[in-house]
Amino acid sequence: MPLAIETYLGEVFEDVSWEGLVKQLRLTNFSQPENKAELMERVAWRIKQWKGEAIQFGSYEDFIRELARVRFLQIVTDEPKP
């Protein structure tokens, strides 16, 4: 079952991996980040400016879960934990 997220703007993304979801977010980003790492840093900075909350991440899954925690997006479909 694919993962699915919905952004606060109502955009829905699906993929079979957390990395794939981050890649899709990168492709829709107006600032044209060079890579997924740059996207995550920029989004973390924006969240800090916008919501006053720092997000911590070490993996693509961590990043998506942190965005859900600060209500930037919602995880619609999640893969089961091992």
Strands 73-77 and 12-15: unpaired
Q: What digits encode the pLDDT tens for the residues 29-82? A: 767 788 889 989 999 999 999 989 999 999 999 999 999 999 999 999 986 554
Supply the pLDDT for residue 32: 79
> pTM value?
0.85
Where are the domains positioned within the chain?
Answer: 3-77
Q: Is the pLDDT of residue 15 over 50?
A: yes
Supply the pLDDT for residue 82: 47
Segment 8-33 mean pLDDT = 88
**Burial of residue 5 (number of CB atoms within 10 Å: 0-12, 13-18, 19+):** buried
> 31 or 26: whose pLDDT is higher?
26
